[in-house]
Structure 1
Amino acid sequence: MAASGPSSGEDDRTHILDAGQAVASGMDEIGPGSRIGPYALLTFIGEGGMGQVFLAEQVEPIRRRVAVKLIRRQIADSLALAYFEIERQALARMEHPAIARVYDAGRTAQGYPYFAMEYVDGVSLSAWNRETRPDLATRLQVFAALTRGVQHAHERGIVHRDLKPDNVLVTEIDGQPHPKLIDFGIAIGVDGDGAGSVLRAGTTDYMSPEQFAEGHAAIDARSDVYSLGMILLRLLLPDPRLPVEPTQRPSELHARLRASIDGTTDPGLQAMPLELRHLLACALDPDRNRRYASAAALADDVQRYLWQRPLKAVPRTRRYRLRKYIRRNRAGVAFGVAITLTVLGGLGATLWSLARAEREAARSRVTAEFLSTVLSSVDPEIARDLDKTLLRKVLDEAAARAARELAAQPEVLAQIRTVIANSYLGLADYPRALEHATQARDSAVARYGAGSVEALSTLLAYGDALISTGKADEAEKLLRPAVAAAVLAAGSDAPLTLRLRQLQGQALRSLGRSEEAHAELVLAAAGLRETLGDDDGFTMNARVALAITLADLDRFDEAIAMLRELIERRSARLGADHPATLTMRNSLAVFYLQARRFADGERELRSLLEPTERQHGADNGYTLTIVGNLGGALRQQGKIAESGPYYRRAMEGTLRLYGTDHPSSIMTRHNFANWLLDDGQAEASLRAQQEALAAAGRVYPEPHPTEAEILTGLGKALTRLGRYAEAEQALLRSIDMKIATRGPDNSRLPLSREALRALYLAWNRPEDAARYAEAPR
């Protein structure tokens, strides 16, 4: 079933509304072929207690498929209207990959409320589980993603109260299943204590014990935790043999779980892994004070199971921790056992091992000799002030020698090509980095296999080079399965796995998927801190990437505080002018600009420019980034004439380095176009914005935050030229795209709304301008 609304599956058989039952809705006058505002209804999708859902085509200001949910007849005491409005407001407050987005809301010509939301082409969670028969890991990954979406709702003060498989659709994105929560019809807000007093509502199979209580029970997020536990139980055991009487289910089910954990044979539960029985017993405890305290805590324990780490729900005995360690580190433990068996196995095995060790040692000697002779001075973090032109020549010679002299040793050649690729990345020569990283990956895959640690290790440079050359979409598709493969090959908490996860987060961020990027980077940074420590370079890099996503999500105070801490750590170890420290300081300057602290940003950028030029050169990608950012800091303070040369230099330099179809070139051209408009050159500004928009369409998937920014600039230029209708179209697209990519609280949204207000004033449409007089934040 393709839907974005309630369905009529098995879980809807008992739906309680104490205040009254639904009256016949009389919805015959609206249906497929009808028009509601800008939405043409195409087909009927589904029906629930609150109304009907239709697949519709939005025809203006942009064309896309949406789901329209509408109600046209009240039920007793206007309860349906109240619940409908609650759902609309609840969904509008959320922006998460596991929750369907609301685009628009209004009333039909007959006066009935409706809202338009993201159309999800998928099937219900129960149907997906039944029809595709996914393996255990896939079921748990989908459930964990759903649970994090519920946590997102809780963080915005919304308790769902009616979580069940029919309110979750599963859709495929790039071949991977993704859950979408689609129905908040009886959600409530919570008060300062995290509880809300409400009417009894829910679906009995998934209701918590407190939802069965008489009167106005205090319902909080732990009620949803219970419902999530029931959903997981159904995912793992489609027929768990529950008691007929709903109010008896919580206590009887929990007793069965505890008994099975203690050793009592239960055919229905025994097939389930013991750890997951512990997890369910915690989520489904009748006493909410003994449940997981939050949906996030439940999701974390599911993730721990997938990563072979000890669960919080399982008593942490020494035996249990040892068993988890062995499972998590099969390769290392097996290696230790293999050594013991070799020693006991006799002289023949010992001699074989010695021969292998000699081969490994010879290979290492070749690698070390080669690297020491041609590569030791190339890394910018070591070379510091040396001529980068000379370093590139050294690298070019190293690459040529490697191909000639090591063709018969593919293992060594793969390692050296990875080193060369990383060195080119350090020099911001991304096309050459990608060339050598591709060769290293291909060699390692051919020699060891795609799922080997050796081949996966080459993806660190390869993925980085893909992202840096504007191929983030390709990188993300590669890295998602690579992380899963690394978990199997090296363990979930291995630095390789965590660094691949970090890189996946960076790819998602480049694609404008900031919430997903943040989730991946939180896991990567936390894992690296635990594994390598706070002062390790890989840990710091992951935390910098995490801070950048915090800024993308408008959490500037957190981003700035985190980066200041990291700069202090790195400065203490490496110095304030070390290349790694300078990179962090540039990120801090960008955060200042995003937070509109332009004077702070200018001061930081001016102090960065000289050491960066000295270490990387005047036309290097790093240097040009700082040059462009400095131009932005000056322009935002009204220093138009002073900022112009910086904008021009950044744009011309990135076009020389990368060509037109690269993220850096797109952004510097857009920024230069903004400066041209401020400088009174509207025609030139329009041409530059059009060129940037065309390149963005070739590079980014739509919608994308960068494209939204360019549309705002395009609208401003068209307004200045008196081309009002075209300007309106561009600005409306920009607003819609910003909401689609980063939600209605996007800090960049007021800029587009203010541009639209200015357009309407110039167009002599004051009534329309008044609608945008106070841009919401």
Structure 2
Amino acid sequence: MNAPDDPSSDDRTELLGHDQNAPADGSDFGPGSRIGPYTLVEHLGEGGMGQVFLAEQVEPIRRRVALKLIRRQIADDLTLAYFQIERQALARMEHPAIARVYDAGRTEEGFPYFAMEYVEGITLRRWRREASPDLATRLRVFITLVRGVQHAHERGIVHRDLKPDNILVTVVDGQAQPKLIDFGIAIGVDGSGSVSAHRAGTVDYMSPEQFAEQHAAIDARSDVYSLGAVLLDLLDDARILRGGTTTLRPTELHARLRASLKGHVDPDLRAVPLELRHLLARALAPDREHRYASAAALADDVQRFLDGEPLAAVPATRRYAMRKFVQRHRVPVALASAIALAVLAGLVATTWSLQRAEREAARARATADFLSTVLAGVDPDTARELDKTLLRKVLDEAALRAGRELAAQPDVLIDIEGVIARSYTGLEDHERALEHARAAHDLAVARNGESAPSAYATLPSLTTALVNTGHADQALPMLERAIAAGAAAGIDEAKILQLRHNLAITLRDLGRSRDAIVESQPASEGLDRLLGPDAEPSVNARLTLAILLADLDRFDEAVPMIRELIARRSATLGADHPLVLTMRNSLAVFHMQSRKFAEGERELKALLDPVRRQYGDGSRFALMIEGNLGGALRQQGKVEEAGPYYQRTYENYLRLFGPDHMRSMQAAHNYANWLLDAGRIAEALAMQRSALEAMRKQYPDDHPVTAEILTGLGKAQIAAGDLDDAERSLLESMRMKIAVRGPDSSRLPASREALRELYTKLGRTDEVARYAEPAATTP
């Protein structure tokens, strides 16, 4: 289930019993209420910002969800902003230890909600007591949990309320799996219900800086402290945390841990192994500078304990290193010389591994320090703009700081520039994404060489950004060189296959779908083999392959493939997950390409609301859906209904990308087609000519979009009475479609139909008859 949001400053978050009673907080919602496609079943809990209900989703699929609804009496602009940020942050997280977000929306009164994965499990503390897991099992569950927290930190989110009641444990394939179920974002609520920046968290697990309300000092290391308290709870069943009548202060807790390391017998810590007490002392250090620098560093040290490796938290003496080596290599003592050689070799290997571990830890600390403070300097007033405004400001600040603060750590800077590039892509700011993707690639090449793994790792983001900004011609030679050299350089096969997938996308953007499928097919099959069919790169590669098959009119292959992808991903992610929405749009386009316009219309209308909720009204994705919907309506003769979709898409693409971008040119062509159907011939003619000029400037060779614009231009020229010009345009469109897509292309009938209309007007009956035949392809 989904736990409530951040508690107030003096109240712990609790899960309510299953009493079917809604809270007495003035809310009208309770069991039986309907919110969007959800029917509330049971009130699960509440916190400072919101209430959580078990709900039944009834459409488009049936499933149980945990629905989080904001408290209406605190729904001012700033609260709504934080709620929106929490929803956006969760939607970007995909980790087995974090409950997934399925959907978001607003009630009829305008109060926001989002639906999350409903987790059927028991709290971490209850699991510890009832399942009585051994130490290794407890630590493995804890490591998975910490990796999930690190996943959140890498996306700029500090949890601030980590505790056993916010962690459920389920059993998956016989293995215990932890799941974080609450991500309230760094605010509390005072007794009157108004938003404040007061203390948020739960006292037993709260870092000293949270307790002291030192907000500027709160970063990822605050969560590290809370994780340390959770681990202590998991190891000694909270005896030391809850043994007295008052909460143990962080300094007192740390003092007891340090004393136990010096030989003092503490009955509450007797069951905790000495090395783990060292680890806890570092995680629970009152001064955050003395803690693990990141959640990843904490997880790594716990894993070292399980693997019998020396812990970073334990002083690195020769005696300790030798002891750990001997523990890992227990062999019968046969010859003293053999033992001496083994110990000597072990010390050399251990020293080397410690040096390597320290280098990796330093890199992890720098990365974590940078990312964990991303939200620290943001003015809360910025959040009043809601949606992406705050996230964009945070990202802009991170971009400015990266070069300044990480110049002395180039390997870290490469990673950070890549993260920033991908984040800008998510915000649809493709120019900024290109800037940072290029910076990451150039730095990796300058530091390690063009054939280094780090350089290859930056290529997908860079080439994607080039395609998104209309520079596929620059991405093409870059990818071709990298793929050719990759095998010789010993680059991992999966990375090469992902580059071939990027090459397929680039070739398609350049109008070379037949060449693209030559790259796409082996990339898809290879990634399935290496990574499994459900890995994200494999899914993306199959989606691209389906799109290319549809480009080549192989709908009998493309449609089953996309339906299978939608079914598989909907089952695990939900029908409205961003990846599934993308696939559903592709299916709608396949319907339209195969002239099943009514089916395309139904799918696109079902997509519009969830896309607008998740990406924003006026986002690139929403505009894509609107443009496609306009086409489905126009092709069915619903010209008046289609008009606003065409106009809105065209105007917004111009605003987002400028007139010379591929999407703007396609939108201009589509809008011109609608203008012609609406009887606005002169406007249609002018717009088709402008789109054709822009396309030939950017793509001088044969291109499928150019061919479609020529068809539209020819139709407009017929309507305007420019019959000679129309013939030239339409015959050129026929030639180009055959050159690009082949003589059986499904795009040819539109050109033939326009030529029949033209020759009818000219009285050339032999030509009318000729272009009535499907086999007629060339003059």
C-alpha distance 214-79 of structure 1, shift in aligned 2 (>3 A)? farther
Cα displacement string for residues 235-288 of structure 1 (whole angstroms, at most 9, x for unaligned residues): 111142446465652222222111111001112112211111111112222233
SS in structure 1 of the partner of residue 308 of structure 2: coil
Counterpart contact for 1:715–1:731, Cα < 8 Å: yes
**How many angstroms does 1:124 deviate by?**
1.6
Question: For residue 592 of structure 1, what is the aligned residue in structure 2?
Answer: 463
Counterpart contact for 2:187–2:198, Cα < 8 Å: no
**How many angstroms does 1:656 deviate by?**
12
- 1:5 matched to 2:12? The reply is no
Question: For residue 131 of structure 1, what is the aligned residue in structure 2?
Answer: 130
Question: For residue 41 of structure 2, what is the aligned residue in structure 1?
Answer: 42
SS in structure 2 of the partner of residue 327 of structure 1: helix
TM-score by length of structure 1 reads 0.55
C-alpha distance 40-324 of structure 1, shift in aligned 2 (>3 A)? same
C-alpha distance 115-263 of structure 1, shift in aligned 2 (>3 A)? same
C-alpha distance 590-584 of structure 1, shift in aligned 2 (>3 A)? same
Counterpart contact for 2:451–2:485, Cα < 8 Å: no
Question: For residue 82 of structure 2, what is the aligned residue in structure 1?
Answer: 86
**How many angstroms does 1:234 deviate by?**
0.6
Q: Work out which of the residue numbers 624, 634, 641 in structure 1 matches 2:507.
A: 634
- 1:159 matched to 2:28? The reply is no
Structure 2 residue identity aligned to 1:756? I
Counterpart contact for 1:236–1:272, Cα < 8 Å: yes
Cα displacement string for residues 677-721 of structure 1 (whole angstroms, at most 9, x for unaligned residues): 66xx7xx35444203225547987845898765543322233456
**How many angstroms does 1:68 deviate by?**
0.7
- 1:717 matched to 2:590? The reply is yes
Counterpart contact for 1:7–1:48, Cα < 8 Å: yes
**How many angstroms does 1:321 deviate by?**
1.5
Aligned length: 534
Q: Distance in 2 between matches of 1:214 and 1:13?
A: 10
Q: Distance in 2 between matches of 1:342 and 1:557?
A: 53
Q: Distance in 2 between matches of 1:651 and 1:84?
A: 43
Q: Distance in 2 between matches of 1:142 and 1:46?
A: 25
Q: Work out which of the residue numbers 474, 477, 495 in structure 2 matches 1:603.
A: 477
SS in structure 1 of the partner of residue 218 of structure 2: strand
Between 1:172-181 and 1:24-33, the stretch displaced more is 24-33
Question: For residue 630 of structure 2, what is the aligned residue in structure 1?
Answer: 761
C-alpha distance 214-244 of structure 1, shift in aligned 2 (>3 A)? farther
**How many angstroms does 1:27 deviate by?**
5.8
C-alpha distance 277-547 of structure 1, shift in aligned 2 (>3 A)? same
Cα displacement string for residues 339-394 of structure 1 (whole angstroms, at most 9, x for unaligned residues): 55999xxxxxxxxxxxxxxxxxxxxxxxxxxxxxxxxxxxxxxxxxxxxxxxxxxx
- 1:180 matched to 2:175? The reply is no
Q: Distance in 1 between matches of 2:570 and 2:592?
A: 27
**How many angstroms does 1:123 deviate by?**
1.9
C-alpha distance 635-41 of structure 1, shift in aligned 2 (>3 A)? same
Task: Among all aligned residue pairs of Structure 1 and Structure 2, give the percentage whose two residues are the same amino acid.
Answer: 43
**How many angstroms does 1:116 deviate by?**
1.8
Counterpart contact for 1:204–1:246, Cα < 8 Å: no
Between 1:176-185 and 1:207-216, the stretch displaced more is 207-216
- Where do 5+ consecutive residues of structure 2 fail to align? 14-21, 189-194, 340-348, 358-415, 426-432, 634-640, 658-779
Structure 2 residue identity aligned to 1:689? A
SS in structure 2 of the partner of residue 172 of structure 1: strand
Question: For residue 515 of structure 2, what is the aligned residue in structure 1?
Answer: 646
Question: For residue 117 of structure 1, what is the aligned residue in structure 2?
Answer: 116
Q: Distance in 2 between matches of 1:702 and 1:271?
A: 43
Q: Distance in 2 between matches of 1:219 and 1:625?
A: 38
C-alpha distance 568-198 of structure 1, shift in aligned 2 (>3 A)? same
Q: Distance in 1 between matches of 2:291 and 2:528?
A: 56
Superposition pairs for residues 405-416 of structure 1, below 5 Å? none
Q: Distance in 1 between matches of 2:223 and 2:555?
A: 51
Question: For residue 541 of structure 1, what is the aligned residue in structure 2?
Answer: none
Structure 2 residue identity aligned to 1:15? D
Counterpart contact for 1:547–1:562, Cα < 8 Å: no
SS in structure 2 of the partner of residue 159 of structure 1: coil
SS in structure 1 of the partner of residue 142 of structure 2: helix
Counterpart contact for 1:602–1:630, Cα < 8 Å: yes
Q: Distance in 2 between matches of 1:677 and 1:245?
A: 69
SS in structure 2 of the partner of residue 178 of structure 1: strand
**How many angstroms does 1:312 deviate by?**
2.2
C-alpha distance 652-115 of structure 1, shift in aligned 2 (>3 A)? closer
Question: For residue 55 of structure 1, what is the aligned residue in structure 2?
Answer: 54
- 1:208 matched to 2:82? The reply is no
C-alpha distance 197-303 of structure 1, shift in aligned 2 (>3 A)? farther
Structure 2 residue identity aligned to 1:598? A
C-alpha distance 758-625 of structure 1, shift in aligned 2 (>3 A)? same
SS in structure 1 of the partner of residue 40 of structure 2: strand
Structure 1 residue identity aligned to 2:318? R
Question: For residue 284 of structure 1, what is the aligned residue in structure 2?
Answer: 284
Cα displacement string for residues 421-465 of structure 1 (whole angstroms, at most 9, x for unaligned residues): xxxxxxxxxxxxxxxxxxxxxxxxxxxxxxxxxxxxxxxxxxxxx
Q: Distance in 1 between matches of 2:497 and 2:294?
A: 45
Q: Distance in 2 between matches of 1:317 and 1:326?
A: 14
Counterpart contact for 1:279–1:313, Cα < 8 Å: yes
C-alpha distance 162-87 of structure 1, shift in aligned 2 (>3 A)? farther
C-alpha distance 297-48 of structure 1, shift in aligned 2 (>3 A)? same
SS in structure 2 of the partner of residue 92 of structure 1: helix
**How many angstroms does 1:91 deviate by?**
4.2
Q: Distance in 1 between matches of 2:27 and 2:518?
A: 64
- 1:149 matched to 2:173? The reply is no
Q: Distance in 1 between matches of 2:213 and 2:482?
A: 65
Q: Distance in 2 between matches of 1:730 and 1:12?
A: 44
C-alpha distance 87-174 of structure 1, shift in aligned 2 (>3 A)? farther
Q: Work out which of the residue numbers 558, 562, 565 in structure 2 matches 1:693.
A: 562
- 1:726 matched to 2:595? The reply is no
C-alpha distance 656-197 of structure 1, shift in aligned 2 (>3 A)? closer
C-alpha distance 655-560 of structure 1, shift in aligned 2 (>3 A)? closer
SS in structure 1 of the partner of residue 31 of structure 2: coil
Q: Distance in 2 between matches of 1:622 and 1:313?
A: 35
SS in structure 1 of the partner of residue 54 of structure 2: strand
Cα root mean square deviation, aligned: 5.6
SS in structure 2 of the partner of residue 65 of structure 1: strand
Q: Distance in 2 between matches of 1:586 and 1:49?
A: 42
Q: Distance in 1 between matches of 2:290 and 2:484?
A: 58
Q: Distance in 2 between matches of 1:656 and 1:311?
A: 41
Q: Distance in 2 between matches of 1:548 and 1:215?
A: 31
Question: For residue 15 of structure 1, what is the aligned residue in structure 2?
Answer: 11
Q: Distance in 2 between matches of 1:210 and 1:613?
A: 51
TM-score by length of structure 2 reads 0.55
**How many angstroms does 1:127 deviate by?**
1.7
**How many angstroms does 1:758 deviate by?**
0.8
Cα displacement string for residues 108-129 of structure 1 (whole angstroms, at most 9, x for unaligned residues): 3355443222222222221222
Q: Distance in 1 between matches of 2:547 and 2:419?
A: 25
C-alpha distance 45-117 of structure 1, shift in aligned 2 (>3 A)? same
Cα displacement string for residues 586-626 of structure 1 (whole angstroms, at most 9, x for unaligned residues): 99589625652522442245558999999xxxxx9999999
**How many angstroms does 1:221 deviate by?**
3.3
**How many angstroms does 1:13 deviate by?**
12
